Structure 1
Amino acid sequence: MIAYVTVGADDISRARRFYDAILPVLGYALREGPEGLSYALPVAPGERPVLPDFYVKPTYDGRPASAGNGAMVAFELRAQAQVRALHAAGLAAGGTDEGAPGFRESYGPQFFVGYLRDPQGNKIALFSSDPDEPGRDG
């Protein structure tokens, strides 16, 4: 099980604007501190944490943050409309388009996905694969 994902950012306020447009809709709450941004899903008293947490932090070694070539973080959404809405919200919050929401020929017929780059260049996927929604072939 993945416990957490961390992406680097040189400008934490720009990163916060971007991730605040997406992650709270997915249920993540923000805790900001001197070490950066920590987004976590709520935990009911007596329950174990729901993973993964998502962290946005300056680099540990102090060198400029860079996006990994081939690295991507994907968030699963409930519906295609939510993929469209959060993709648009990410663009409005300083992200760049890496692939408009839609079906991809190389994926399954229900896999609806949109791709973004955060302000630092980290690749983010937003997808839904709800079998009750229209598919690529339907």
Structure 2
Amino acid sequence: MVSHLFIGLSDFDRAIAFYRPIAVALGLHERFCEADPGWAGWHQPDSIRPLFIVGRPWNGQPHEPGNGQMVAFMVEQRARVRALHALALSLGGTCEGAPGLRPHYHRHYYGAYFKDTEGNKIGVACHLPVEVAGD
């Protein structure tokens, strides 16, 4: 259903320094990285789609993060939610919601939220019950 997700940025070098370690922690493979025009993309190891892309806006205008827009990555363990959130903060991201249960989404939803160095909101979520996902 999803071909690709594109997250805007203004400072390519700063964004790459942020997203490369995040992508590695998520187990994603880097498909391309081009300083000019200023974009990079990653995919899961077993498929080239969907593609997660960060880059400068194609219209040449400055990047502005959207209110209410978010990309969320799914992981299989609650410990990975915590680790990815901590990694994002260590790389200059800001906390938008500490790791924890969010039963108002569903009873097993364990997630965390952060903004990247460009102000884009990113989520990490585990949808499995604790007996499957671990805690």
Q: Which TM bucket (shorter chain)?
A: 0.7 to 0.9
What is residue 16 of structure 1 aligned with on the other side? 16
Percent identity reads 38
What are the Cα deviations for residues 71-108 of structure 1, in whole angstroms up to 9, with x where unaligned? 11010011110000000000111111000000124121
Shift of 1:21: 2.3
Structure 2 residue aligned with 1:52: 50
Quote the RMSD (CA, aligned, Å): 1.7
CA distance in 1: counterparts of 2:100 and 2:50, whole angstroms: 25
Q: Distance in 2 between matches of 1:90 and 1:2?
A: 24
Q: Distance in 2 between matches of 1:89 and 1:76?
A: 16
List aligned pairs for 1:17-32, cutoff 5 A. 17-30=17-30, 31-32=32-33
Q: How does 1:87-126 map to 2 (within 5 A)?
A: 87-126=85-124
TM-superposed deviation, 1:51: 2.4
Structure 2 match to 1:133: 131
- Report the count of equivalent residues: 130
Kindly indicate whether the alpha-carbon contact (under 8 Å) linking 1:39 and 1:55 is maintained by their aligned counterparts in 2.
yes
Q: Give the C-alpha shift of residue 132 in structure 1.
A: 4.3
Superposed displacement of residue 134, structure 1: 8.1
Displacement, 1:4?
0.3
Question: Distance in 1 between the 2:20 and 2:13 partners?
Answer: 10
Match of 2:3 in 1: 3
Residue of structure 1 aligned with 2:64, choices 49, 66, 91: 66
- TM-score, normalised by the number of residues in structure 2: 0.88
Contact 2:22 2:84 (C-alpha < 8 Å) held by counterparts: yes
1:39 aligns with 2:42: yes
2-structure distance, mates of 1:27, 1:84:
15
Classify 1:58/1:118 alpha carbon distance in 2 versus 1 (closer, same or farther; 3 Å): same
Structure with higher helix content: 2
In structure 2, runs of 5+ residues without a counterpart are none
Q: Give the whole-Å Cα distance in 1 for the aligned partners of 2:125 and 2:103.
A: 15
Structure 1 unaligned segments of length 5 or more: list them.
Answer: 44-48
